[in-house]
């Protein structure tokens, strides 16, 4: 599960009953979901994303991280 903002991501994870320790950073902050949790996320308002949308989100996150590293 991905989101534009960390607060949004963690709120959705809490709504699904995901444990905070399941949060993953890597190239893109996210939570891995089972098929059942993915279906529940959609019921709660999540939208399925195409590969191109996921790639766009990853690129935006990487740009945010890069900008934070460049800040004095």
pLDDT per residue as tens digits for the range 5-63:
999 999 999 999 999 999 998 778 999 999 999 999 999 999 999 999 999 999 998 89
Counted domains in the chain: 1
pLDDT of residue 66 exceeding 90, the answer is: no
The per-residue pLDDT for 69 is 85
In Å, what is the CA distance from 3 to each residue of 58, 61, 67, 71?
10, 10, 18, 23
> If DSSP codes are grouped into helix, strand and coil, which group holds residue 5?
coil
42 domain residue, yes or no = yes
The per-residue pLDDT for 23 is 97
Domain hosting 31: range is 6-70
The per-residue pLDDT for 65 is 84
62 domain residue, yes or no = yes
pLDDT of residue 72 exceeding 80, the answer is: no
Report which of 14, 12, 20, 19 is spatially closest to residue 44, judged by C-alpha positions: 12
The separation between CA 41 and the C-alpha centre of its own chain, rounded to angstroms, equals 12
The per-residue pLDDT for 55 is 93
């Amino acid at each position: 599960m991905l989101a534009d903002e960390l607060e949004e991501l963690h709120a959705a994870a809490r709504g699904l009953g995901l444990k905070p320790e399941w949060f993953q950073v890597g190239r893109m902050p996210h939570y891995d979901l089972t098929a059942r949790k993915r279906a529940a996320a959609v019921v709660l308002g999540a939208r399925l994303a195409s590969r191109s949308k996921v790639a766009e989100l990853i690129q935006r996150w990487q740009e945010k991280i890069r900008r934070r590293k460049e800040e004095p």
